[in-house]
Structure 1
């Protein structure tokens, strides 16, 4: 709802001076009409001509007043549109707060995601450091498994170590007979094999380890290659 404007309201009211002038013109026109009834036709036409001109001037003046009042009203409406109402100010303030809140929320989500990635990276670095330190011991356990029999107690300890690394996402790889892959195998020797149709792992010297897609150590292997 637009605010009440006293000036616009007063401009729409009729002017008292103009109203009195219009009443006087109407009285003169009435007396002229009575006099013309007693005079001849020429005097009637001469008396009626000024009366008609006065009657035409009054509507023209009224139309001019209405035009001025309309222009003033339009100016008042444009000013009221430029000035916000208390409700409009409250809505704008609420919209500003909402925009700021959404921006802060987006920044917090980005910070949380970045922090989680950093924590995961630090966690992997810690696991890699421990695994790298234990690699010589793990290699010795694998050699004992391959070249000698392990008693039950030693076998139980080795199994617990393997399960502990699996719990932290460490995967052991490198098996005899699998296809040779230079991205995860480190070939220390290539030997020709008449029965080989493609390069395959013939012997695993040291097993490889990885976390996810990241290779911590490539498997050191002997590769059987076709003779040609």
Structure 2
């Protein structure tokens, strides 16, 4: 007779723990939906994270572009004035330089002309000085009455004096002229009640000059006012 008490009866699976095919399929679909939602959320967060810096960079780039355009506009607006001011300054400098050069050239010409006239007067004076002894002899002969009008000596004397005048030689020093120490050499001084200043009382030897160049001072006797 078989022993039926030695083996424990096996428990039958409970209805709540058992999964039916429909339940397993629902759980699988729920898990798939959860994974899809998580993936979508992750993608959205990544897009948001990547779009935020891009937005900042775009804003900065836009600001830089606006600033650059503003700077270029300001430069374009001020550039003509700056160029005009620079051109005006250069023109003023060139004008000042030209005026300075013109003044220097004018002064140079004046100095050169004055020096040329002095050199010419000295050169002519050196030649004319050789005639002074002849002129002095003619003066003495005239005072002695040896140069009567119409005589041969008078004609020769006139021609010689004409040569001196042609050279620009000027004779000075005459009785009654005011005494000038720059032109006259006083060989003697006398007092006279008839004068109120120093005047020439007698010409011992006439003076000669060419222009402003003195060749020989006149030797004279000076009359001074009486004390």
Give the structure 1 partner of residue 177 of structure 2. Answer: 178
CA distance, structure 1, for counterparts of residue 133 and residue 189 of structure 2: 24
Q: Following TM superposition, by how much is the alpha carbon of 1:207 offset from its aligned partner in structure 2, in angstroms? A: 0.2
Q: Following TM superposition, by how much is the alpha carbon of 1:175 offset from its aligned partner in structure 2, in angstroms? A: 1.0
SS for the counterpart of 1:178 is coil
User: Highest CA radius of gyration, 1 or 2?
Assistant: 2
CA distance, structure 2, for counterparts of residue 127 and residue 223 of structure 1: 30
Q: Following TM superposition, by how much is the alpha carbon of 1:204 offset from its aligned partner in structure 2, in angstroms? A: 1.0
* Shift in alpha-carbon separation, 1:188–1:101, aligned structure 2, 3 A: closer
The farther-off stretch of 146-155 and 131-140 is: 146-155
Give the number of aligned pairs.
Answer: 162
Mapped pair 1:207 → 2:203: no
Mapped pair 1:68 → 2:61: no
Structure 1 residue ranges without an equivalent (≥5): 1-57
Output the TM-score relative to the length of structure 1.
0.52
Structure 2 residue ranges without an equivalent (≥5): 1-54
CA distance, structure 2, for counterparts of residue 155 and residue 209 of structure 1: 21
RMSD of aligned residue pairs (Cα, Å)? 4.3
CA contact (8 A) 2:187 2:221 kept: yes
* Shift in alpha-carbon separation, 1:149–1:70, aligned structure 2, 3 A: farther
CA distance, structure 2, for counterparts of residue 81 and residue 135 of structure 1: 83
Kindly report which structure 2 residues correspond to 1:8-87, keeping only aligned pairs within 5 A, or say none.
65=62, 67-76=63-72
Which structure has the highest helix share of the two? 1
Match of 1:142 among 130, 134, 139: 139
Output the TM-score relative to the length of structure 2.
0.52
Q: Following TM superposition, by how much is the alpha carbon of 1:184 offset from its aligned partner in structure 2, in angstroms? A: 1.9
Kindly report which structure 2 residues correspond to 1:88-107, keeping only aligned pairs within 5 A, or say none.
102=98
Give the structure 2 partner of residue 41 of structure 1. Answer: none
* Shift in alpha-carbon separation, 1:201–1:107, aligned structure 2, 3 A: closer
